[in-house]
Structure 1
Amino acid sequence: MRQTILAVLSLSTLAALLTGCGGDMVLLNSKGPVGQGQGSLMMTAIYLMLLVVIPSIIMALWFGWKYRASNKDADYKPTWAHSTTIEIVVWGVPVIIIGILAWLTWWGSHKYDPYRPLESDKAPLTIQAIAEQFKWVFIYPEQNIGTVNEIRFPVKTPLSFKITSNFTMNSFFIPQLGGQIYAMAGMQTHLHLLADEPGIFRGISANYSGYGFSQMRFMAHGVTDAEFAQWVEAVKAGNGTSINPEAIQKGTLDQAELATLRDGNRSKHQIEVLIAKAKTPEEKQAAEEMKSYPTAPHPVTYYSSVEPKLFESVINQYMSNYHGADHSASSADHTTDVEHATASTEE
């Protein structure tokens, strides 16, 4: 009995430490209506399930104590076989809870559908996100600027993210603002978020995508309307470092510049293996000329302008034979219907 109590206490202590007791529990510290709603749904589901879990644990301990071998006063009914009351409780309560959870799931799936625009008096700010090789590239089509590994937006303004990938499949996720959604090559997904208060929120990829996966993180800055306008003007003027001295300011983000962001061929370990297993001098030379993936996140970079339809062209290069048309050569010359490549239809 003593060993059991010690084991339970040890596991409870470990669980508290692993869940970050007293730390930054971002999923339960949401700063936007979407994150708050999803967190509320999660906690409601946990509370409902505890209505079964807690009584079950208490009864298991109580039955073990009451019917222990040393208790000679415990009831002994060797012919007992059925109790209608017990059957109603053990089947009825779970059925009711499952019914409530099913309704909450249906309601929450529609209420917090990532494709559903948020209700607001303000017009949404569109941000196009591209999952590049272990970094995030962002385009502001209305402001005609671009960034790498950083976004800024005014608080209390709906954010309309259009997301794709120019690399492997990733998952766009700002935990304190709302749920995640996948970024896939040749497809466009959508996500609507909103920040209720100023702050700096961590953004990550929630889908493992290779050796440089740990570098796929960015910072999302929620600022005032005036601060956002000031930042946009500074970036457009080529002076974004006046807002963020640690950033790098560049000119135009176009196809050529986007290609330079693909900084690496293999991990250092993979290149070493290729060199060791090379069977010809040519194979060895090719392996030695490979660049290894960086071991630190790509620095925050600002672009004062963006090539027109760059986001659409990234999608279309994977859809070159879609419906028999070659979009890759003409994506910059005419407007393409990107919605054919979306993973779902926007409401």
Structure 2
Amino acid sequence: MKAMKKLIYLLTLLVIPIFLAGCESKLLVFDPKGPVARSLTDLIVYSIILMLVIVLVVFVLFVYIIWKYRVRKDDADFEPKEEKGNHWLEITWFTIPVIIVIALMIPTAKTIYEVENIPQGYEEEEPLVIHVTSADWKWIFSYPEQDIETVNYINIPADHPIQFKMTSAGTMQSFWVPELGGQKYTMANMQTNLFLVADKPGSFYGRNTSFNGRGYAHMEFEVQAQTKEDFNEWVNDVKTTAMDLTEEKYGEILEPGNLGRMTFNNTHLEWIDHAHGGSEKYIDPELYRITHGDGKHEEDKEETEVQTEESHTEVEEETSDSADTAHSHH
């Protein structure tokens, strides 16, 4: 009876996560919408299957050995013979992990090198270049060919290669659009490259995956893949309706904080490319200063200091008046 209760308990623990998983939407990593994401998803699935096979074999051997060599009542006094090590077993235990590592390493290295270039089938097309500048806590996207700049959203043509040239105006952050590709870091004073393609028009979620301060949770952006006609129409609309980006306005955008979407004509690349330094001209370290305690505590502290100074002044005045009175009596 106790064994049956334990079995039911274990089955319940296994079934609950399955029901809970059904309450969530599909994992974006396993829903690729482009060739780069598809290559990475295939690698993840292959790795999971390989590791599951290994775990299954280990558990089967584990159960078999425990059952075969379990303690029995009739061999309580049994003493096994002394045996020397088996060289073939030692070679086997060494070889198996090496084979597992090779089985994971080869497809991983192949996929990593593959996604560093323009995806297969798009080599003959000239990629659209978009400069990505991460700041605390927003994403800035510059289109040098179209002379357009956006904040916290990107419009791209579908079925066309996009080359992201990425850098950071301050802290290191991570650019990730899970349905289109893997994540890659943005770092100050250097440039990283990422090629992505969206198979079809659609909206894709992107975010920063590297914790970098209090605004990290809201550092998100949208990638809107459009038909080439819609993308060209959007470019023309921006040209006729968006305001010009000034260097002063760009400095305000870089101040630490979360922002909504913005669209501008011209780009900050006219004044600075953070991949080549110069961010200190626009970043004020004092804006990142954090005082200990909340604001109310600081206000109370300042008020207490003012009251203390006033009390000292009153005491000094009373002492002075008393001395003058005593002197006049004399």
TM-score, with length taken from structure 1: 0.69
Deviates more, 1:122-131 or 1:92-101: 92-101
Q: Secondary structure at the match of 2:199?
A: coil
Matched, 1:312 2:273: yes
Instruction: State which of 103, 107, 111 in structure 1 corresponds to 2:106.
Output: 103
Matches within 5 A, 1:107-118: 107-113=110-116, 116-118=117-119
Q: 1:66 to 1:108 in 2, by over 3 A?
A: same
Please list the CA deviations of residues 60-91 of structure 1 after superposition, one character each: whole Å capped at 9, or x if unmatched.
23333444446869xx7822745667556544
Counterpart in the other structure of 1:137: 140
Which entry has the higher C-alpha Rg, 1 or 2? 2
Q: How far apart are the structure 2 equivalents of 1:308 and 1:262?
A: 14
TM-align CA RMSD = 3.1
Matches within 5 A, 1:1-347: 5=7, 8-9=10-11, 12-13=14-15, 16=18, 23-69=25-71, 78-79=80-81, 81=83, 87=90, 89-113=92-116, 116-119=117-120, 120=122, 121-238=124-241, 250-264=242-256, 293=257, 298-306=259-267, 309-310=270-271, 312=273, 315-318=276-279
Q: How far apart are the structure 2 equivalents of 1:61 and 1:22?
A: 35
Q: How far apart are the structure 1 equivalents of 2:98 and 2:278?
A: 50
Greater fraction helix: 2
Query: Which AA in structure 2 matches 1:38?
Result: L
Q: How far apart are the structure 1 equivalents of 2:21 and 2:183?
A: 20
CA contact (8 A) 2:201 2:227 kept: yes
Query: Which AA in structure 1 matches 2:125?
Result: K
Q: How far apart are the structure 1 equivalents of 2:68 and 2:7?
A: 18
Please list the CA deviations of residues 156-202 of structure 1 after superposition, one character each: whole Å capped at 9, or x if unmatched.
11110011111211111111111111111222211111111221111
Query: Which AA in structure 1 matches 2:253?
Result: L
Please list every run of 5 or more consecutive structure 1 residues that lacks an aligned counterpart in the other structure: 239-249, 265-292, 321-347
Size of the aligned set, in residue pairs, is: 275
Q: 1:77 to 1:11 in 2, by over 3 A?
A: farther
Query: Which AA in structure 1 matches 2:182?
Result: G
Q: How far apart are the structure 2 equivalents of 1:15 and 1:310?
A: 53
Counterpart in the other structure of 2:311: none
CA contact (8 A) 2:36 2:181 kept: yes
Q: How far apart are the structure 2 equivalents of 1:18 and 1:258?
A: 45
How far apart are residue 21 of structure 1 and its match? 7.1
TM-score, with length taken from structure 2: 0.72
Q: How far apart are the structure 2 equivalents of 1:197 and 1:49?
A: 33
CA contact (8 A) 2:190 2:275 kept: no
Q: How far apart are the structure 1 equivalents of 2:23 and 2:74?
A: 44
Please list every run of 5 or more consecutive structure 2 residues that lacks an aligned counterpart in the other structure: 282-330
Query: Which AA in structure 2 matches 1:300?
Result: R
CA contact (8 A) 1:164 1:315 kept: no
Q: How far apart are the structure 2 equivalents of 1:319 and 1:57?
A: 56
Percentage identity across paired residues of the two chains: 31
